[in-house]
A and B are shown apart, each in its own frame.
Chain A
Amino acid sequence: DVKVTQSSRYLVKRTGEKVFLECVQDMDHENMFWYRQDPGLGLRLIYFSYDVKMKEKGDIPEGYSVSREKKERFSLILESASTNQTSMYLCASIRGPGNTIYFGEGSWLTVV
């Protein structure tokens, strides 16, 4: 089975802290995505990557950066966490066009 693993399920961080959210997939997928999900707003794309070291901004990239040094790993970075970044973060990956999306289990981040 394809597996998309998000290393941290629940985090509580203080305002101003640097936060790393890691996502690893084990099926050699090219495309990886980071979303956040908030009540009433659905899933919103933060960043995506279609290859190693490549990244594209999604709809809400402000306050976030990403890193894809290896194909299997896509990291989301909050340089200076703020309370409005309290959310559920979801990682997803796809091999390429015409293939199924696979999701991680989500990371719940609370910034206090």
Chain B
Amino acid sequence: KNEVEQSPQNLTAQEGEFITINCSYSVGISALHWLQQHPGGGIVSLFMLSSGKKKHGRLIATINIQEKHSSLHITASHPRDSAVYICAVKDQTSYDKVIFGPGTSLSVIP
């Protein structure tokens, strides 16, 4: 069983749709990251969470520590949101080793 799982694996949405990507994990964590990887390969950090909710523009990230679950929401999706979204956790038992989820490939169609 993978320590970090994401669903769905692939997602196609129409422009304007509300999108949710889920992440569940099985290890004790000090923080969880949502990352965005564009086709060229570059990765940027969207959010870092250790509790509660964060919002940045059209992106909202939530985390439930007790349930070991996080969600990334994209409101009013746009084709430029097309990317791979990766959930990553910092394993607090191992020097904050970062464990990545498999990623969710999002395609937003105009």
Contact = CB atoms under 8 A, between A and B. Distances in A.
Nearest to A41: B102
Interface stretch (A15-23, A67-75, A100-108): A100-108
B88 interface: yes
Interface string B66-110: 000000000000000000001010101011111111110000000
B7 interface: no
B31 interface: yes
Contacts of A101: 33, 35, 45, 48, 88, 98
Given A45-B98, A48-B98, A100-B45, 18 more contacts: A31-B96, A42-B86, A44-B100, A45-B97, A48-B97, A50-B95, A90-B43, A94-B96, A96-B96, A97-B90, A98-B31, A101-B33, A101-B35, A101-B88, A103-B43, A105-B41, A106-B42, A106-B43
Interface of B: 30-31, 33, 35, 41-45, 48, 50, 86, 88, 90, 92, 94-103
